[in-house]
Amino acid sequence: MNGLKHLINQNTPLLIIFLLFGIIFLIIGNIFYELIIQLTIRSFSNDFINLLPSISITLMNNLFSVICAILIAFFITNYLYKKSSANSSFLIILISFPHISYCIGITYLFATSGLFARLFAIFYGNEIPFTSSSGDGLANFIYILSLALREVPFLVLIGLSVWNKINSNQIQQQVSVLGHSELSALMNCIFPLWLKSMGLPILIIIAFSFSNYEFSLILGPQFPDMINVKIIESWYSSNRELTKLLNSLIIITVLISSFAILILFYLRKVTIIYLKTTRLFISINYNLYLLGKYLVILLITLFIVIFLITFFLSINNSWFFPSIIPVTFTLKGWTYMIDNYAELFLNSILISSVISISSLILMTYIIEISLKNNKIFRILLLLSFIILVMPQNIMLIGISGLMTRLSIFSIEIWFYFSLFIYIFPYTYFMMKQTYEDFNPQYIDNANVLGISKIKSFFYIKLPLMINDFLLIFGVSFSVCFYQFLQGIIVTKGEKLLFNNEVLILFSGESINTASAGSLLNFIPAGLLLIFIFIKSRYARM
Amino acid sequence: MNKPLDILIKVCILFFINQSLYSADVNFHAWGGSIMINDFIKEVSKNLKSKNINLNHTKITDIAESIKILESDKKIGNFQKGSVDLMWVNGENFHKLKKNQLLFGPIDKIENYKFINQNDQSLHIDFGEPVDGLEVPWGRAQFVMIYDSMMIKNPPQTIKQLSDFIKKNPGRFTYPQIPDFHGTTFLKQLLYELVEDKTILQKPFSNCLNPCLPIINLMTFLKEINPFLWNKGRRFPKSVSQTVPMLSNRELWLTISFNPNMAAANVRSGNLRDVTRTTSFINGAIGNTHYLAIPFNSPNKTAALEVINYLISPKSQADKSNIDIWGDPTVLDLNTMNKKQKKLFLDKESIHILPNNQIPYLVEPHYTWTEAIENEWFKTFN
């Protein structure tokens, strides 16, 4: 009997993973099944040709934004590492800043009657904004820059821990002994090593670029619309031509995101080899520390300005050009949100907490049981990669299709599941790192003393890893709390998170209510991550 | 047992039995982007409590989401326990629902239906499609233009004047990107201005000879004005809501709307300047009606009918048409009401709105025109 119990215990993680794998396989299988039934090669090639401008814009914009984000993150990491990594606490706040507020803030910054135009009007004295003639070139530039800067805090946070492991101080000393410049140490030695270890975060941001909706919709160009926008547009549309496009758009998204991953990883490889083998920066000496400093100032200033814009929008009663701040104030946006959405707000906190904690417990259980089973880790890695690489909008369309086909679970269960699978990879990667960093000597000693596995987990591991566990919970919580595509695609509005309501309000005329909502959105994740950061004083992944 | 406690428990049991026997939940799927509309529905929900009806407003981005739910329900054979009890719908969405038999009806046998003008065809034909009792009129809208009177002294009221205005004031006008509903309506309005024989628009698009001259003329006109639009016609706002702050900041001097009271409501809420005024095409502006419909698988059809009956009552319609509450024009015929009921509709005067019945109503073109216009626009501009 004990043997059977042991066998079941040992295989439970495998069963859980296979169950998850099975569902993901069914979801992806269902997407391709629908595509095979409904799509012909001829119609796909026609759509592909018609959509070529959209495809190239989407691909180029996302590629450039990821490349910009990597470079900016590297220079900032260099600056922060030298200055002291303890000063990187601001990154946590920037990471938890809601995407919708960020996009709206950027729009109000660059609009013809936006903040820059108003500042210009002070000197020029114009009472009426100049006519706008900016085309899609500027829109593409704004999209690339703003998406890149939005990704930078996440990359820097991970980049700092990578930098710690590289032992950059020693590299710099050795390089300077050899008579090479500091820039050479940085670009020829540290950057290739750093870039090599940044594969996973780069993959995460590529996947996000190709599935984000809010950035492409609010900041992206319109002629042509980016593929990310076209997918949701055809999902909603009652226009038959647009509806028919959906299947082609799904294939195109999968193809171009895979292509982007291949290109970026190839570029990464080439860059690493090139920088290692050439001596491009040996005698040149630019102060990249200062560049990093300016970029940090730019990043912080941008987020502060965006926060202030959103805040002013949330309390303005009339804020007309050319005034820099609102003339009259009102709190009606805030009171409206609190009066009408307090329950949903609390409910979203509860849902996000329960899902994050469940994911944390499940992952701890799986890892604890299969610590020495590399097979399980490989399957987990594969599962996480599939979830992350598959663009979210496509995956959710697959879930919606499977939900209709199977009709065995309620809509709520699919909703929670669709939230859970987006927490799962983050929990896995962070948890794996935590376990790798943990010194196994403590547990070996406890084993020698005859302390049971459960006891040693609760009395030794947990207290030592509690800060990491809290950080994993915080990140999972904020990822879950800011989800909204599930409410659109999976539940079709029947079950929503607070972020959905904010997005709906942005589609209306009440900009101050929507801005108040987006700032309210910031509070739980922001406070939680600040608390965790203060408590742990460090962050790693 | 303690006697007062015993009584209290009995009262509680009776209360719960009463609640469970008579209260019904009605899930109302309606757009949730406007706080004025949300507040109105919230108030209705409070009023319906006395009828033991819990009206839950499911705030959606687009009614297409709810149609997808109904399509899935039909596919999997859920004919009894749907999650949508009431929908706010019109146009091609209604056509899709009707064509796929996703609606319950006829639902026009309710008491307050007598207040609806039986002779007004615009209430009984939805985008060229006969309503057939599958939906009940709830409100009506008319195409209007909202302008800044400090910037425009003589607002355009014909297509020629609009074209002149756009060319003389480059960058000060735009329309929402197609397939946004307001953007498409603007194009349909232009189509009305451009065609000589307006009856062709009431027939299916397939009746228009290939190549269809009205569509060609429309695209020619749009291409002509495009370089003079905001951002030289290289970008368009995603929705009419996005043009409101642009108008208030004088980035635009003229925008469009489908609610004749929109300017008044936005001036009140501080979103638009006090000098904002409303105008429209003098020869007639497209007016349409939005409706309420009950899905085929609503488990609470009786309660949903009760809600519709309330929503088309003189009291509710008067509240809805009040610019302080929503400002949506009524679908009721005031001649069918008594003095007391008529008094509820006494208009609040506002310089920001168009006086009632000043602009003739034009019926929405047949729904097939919508898709034809959109597709041609995609081909020309996308």
Nearest Cβ partner for B249 among A320, A336, A404: A320
Hey, are the CB atoms on B251 and A501 less than 8 Å from each other?
Answer: no
Q: Which residues contact A157 (CB under 8 A, 6 or more apart)?
A: A88, A91, A92, A95, A539, A541
Q: Is a pLDDT exceeding 60 seen at residue B156? A: yes
In terms of CA atoms, which chain A residue is nearest residue B41? A340
List, in sequence order, the alpha helices (H) in A438-483: 441-448, 453-456, 462-481
Q: A167 to chain B, minimum CA–CA distance in Å? A: 49
Q: Which helix (H) or strand (E) segment is B27 a member of?
A: strand B24-31
pLDDT band, residue B128 (cuts 50/70/90): confident
Q: Is a pLDDT exceeding 60 seen at residue A86? A: no
Find chain B residues with C-beta within 8 A of A233's C-beta. 179
Find chain A residues with C-beta within 8 A of B249's C-beta. 113, 129, 320-321
Instruction: Give me the mean pLDDT over the B165-194 stretch.
Output: 93
Find out whether B280 and B157 touch, Cβ atoms under 8 Å: yes
Find chain B residues with C-beta within 8 A of A224's C-beta. 382
Nearest Cβ partner for B371 among A222, A239, A503: A239
Whether the complex's predicted ipTM is more than 0.90 is answered with no
Instruction: Give me the mean pLDDT over the B163-184 stretch.
Output: 93
pLDDT at B76: 83
Highest mean pLDDT of the ranges A119-128, B238-247, B248-257, B353-362: B248-257
In chain A, the percentage of residues whose pLDDT exceeds 70 is 93
pLDDT at A135: 64
pLDDT band, residue B260 (cuts 50/70/90): confident
pLDDT tens digits for A13-62?
Answer: 788 888 888 898 898 888 888 888 877 888 888 889 988 988 999 999 99
Hey, are the CB atoms on A236 and B62 less than 8 Å from each other?
Answer: yes
Nearest Cβ partner for B179 among A139, A242, A407: A242
Find out whether B255 and B146 touch, Cβ atoms under 8 Å: yes
In terms of CA atoms, which chain A residue is nearest residue B376? A241
pLDDT tens digits for A381-431?
Answer: 888 888 888 888 888 988 988 888 887 788 899 999 999 998 998 899 888
Q: Where in chain A is the domain with CATH 1.10.3720.10?
A: 10-41+330-541, 61-222+280-313
pLDDT tens digits for B197-254?
Answer: 888 998 899 888 778 899 999 999 999 999 999 988 888 888 888 899 899 999 999 9
Nearest Cβ partner for A134 among B58, B170, B231: B231
Hey, are the CB atoms on A507 and B239 less than 8 Å from each other?
Answer: yes
What's the token pair of residue A10? 């040992």
pLDDT at A264: 92
Q: What are phi and psi of B82, to 5 degrees?
A: -70, 165
The whole-angstrom separation of Cα B325 and Cα B40 is 7
The whole-angstrom separation of Cα B231 and Cα A238 is 28
Cα separations (Å) of A195 from A73, A158, A189, A536? Answer: 11, 11, 10, 27
pLDDT tens digits for B45-81?
Answer: 999 999 899 999 998 888 888 998 898 888 888 888 8
In terms of CA atoms, which chain A residue is nearest residue B373? A239
pLDDT tens digits for A438-485?
Answer: 888 888 888 888 888 888 888 888 888 888 898 889 889 988 999 888
Classify domain A61-222+280-313 by CATH architecture: Orthogonal Bundle (1.10)
pLDDT tens digits for B8-31?
Answer: 665 555 554 454 445 789 999 998
Q: Which helix (H) or strand (E) segment is A539 a member of?
A: none
Q: B340 to chain A, minimum CA–CA distance in Å? A: 33
pLDDT at B10: 58
pLDDT tens digits for B185-205?
Answer: 999 999 999 998 888 998 899
Chain B interface, best mutation among A47, A136, A246, A492, by max B CB count within 10 A: A492
Hey, are the CB atoms on B236 and A222 less than 8 Å from each other?
Answer: yes
Q: Is a pLDDT exceeding 60 seen at residue A287? A: yes
Q: Is a pLDDT exceeding 70 seen at residue A504? A: yes
Instruction: Give me the mean pLDDT over the A241-246 stretch.
Output: 80
Neighbours of A414 (CB within 10 A): 20
Q: B338 to chain A, minimum CA–CA distance in Å? A: 36
pLDDT at B273: 92
Can you give the pTM of this predicted structure?
0.84
Find chain A residues with C-beta within 8 A of B231's C-beta. 132-135
Hey, are the CB atoms on A404 and B76 less than 8 Å from each other?
Answer: yes
Find chain B residues with C-beta within 8 A of A501's C-beta. 32, 59
Q: Is a pLDDT exceeding 90 seen at residue A501? A: no
Cα separations (Å) of A80 from A30, A73, A373? Answer: 46, 10, 38
Instruction: Give me the mean pLDDT over the B313-334 stretch.
Output: 89
Nearest Cβ partner for A222 among B60, B61, B235: B235
Hey, are the CB atoms on A492 and B65 less than 8 Å from each other?
Answer: yes
Q: Which residues contact A439 (CB under 8 A, 6 or more apart)?
A: none
In chain A, the percentage of residues whose pLDDT exceeds 90 is 24
Q: Which residue has the higher pLDDT, A3 or A63?
A: A63
Which CATH class for the A10-41+330-541 domain? mainly alpha
Hey, are the CB atoms on A411 and B83 less than 8 Å from each other?
Answer: yes
